[in-house]
Amino acid sequence: MTKTSVYIFAGCFQNTDQACLYSEPQWEPEPDDADDVVHETWEDNNPSHSLKQNIDSYLDSDFIETVELDCEYLSSFKISPEDIEIIRNALNEKDNVFVLVFKDALGGFDLKSEPITNPVLTYCGNYNCEL
């Protein structure tokens, strides 16, 4: 097991597939027979990543997990019971999804600013864990 940390967010979505549209990078269809300018614009705009509204950093989706809200699941990462209680207290009544952003998702970069809460996701904190 490897010691690391995880940024935990909670939100309310129709289901986890809908949550993944927010937490995972999304690609627009590549333009057909586009000239260089149109293609370069497409490249510059893709992928879009809505999660960057909460955590302004490079994000590697291999280290982002979007799951149904289950505090017991967090204990499988050896997050302490005290930290899980803090997370429980940060949840909104309607939250049904966790978005877990493990430190490796940042690609070795430091965060430019603290993750934020917005109308879509509540930032519950950064916690020590094991993978």
pTM for this prediction: 0.89
Which carries the bigger pLDDT value, residue 34 or residue 101?
A: 101
Q: Hey, what are 96's tokens?
A: 């049904």
pLDDT band at 41 (very low <50, low <70, confident <90, very high): confident
Question: What is the pLDDT at residue 28?
Answer: 87
- 33 has a pLDDT exceeding 80: no
pLDDT band at 38 (very low <50, low <70, confident <90, very high): confident
Average pLDDT for residues 100-128, to the nearest whole number? 94
- SS3 percent helix, strand, coil of the chain, rounded to 5, is 35, 25, 40
> What are the tens digits of pLDDT across the range 45-85?
888 889 999 999 999 999 999 999 999 999 999 999 999 99
Percent of the chain beyond pLDDT 70? 99
- 87 has a pLDDT exceeding 90: yes
CB-CB contact of 64 with 102 (8 Å): yes
User: Could you say which DSSP state residue 118 is in?
Assistant: -
Q: Where are the alpha helices (DSSP H) in 50-121?
A: 71-75, 81-90
CA angle at residue 113 from 20 to 85, to 5 degrees?
A: 65
Question: What is the pLDDT at residue 36?
Answer: 84
- 22 has a pLDDT exceeding 90: yes
Residue with tokens 């930290």: 83
pLDDT band at 32 (very low <50, low <70, confident <90, very high): confident
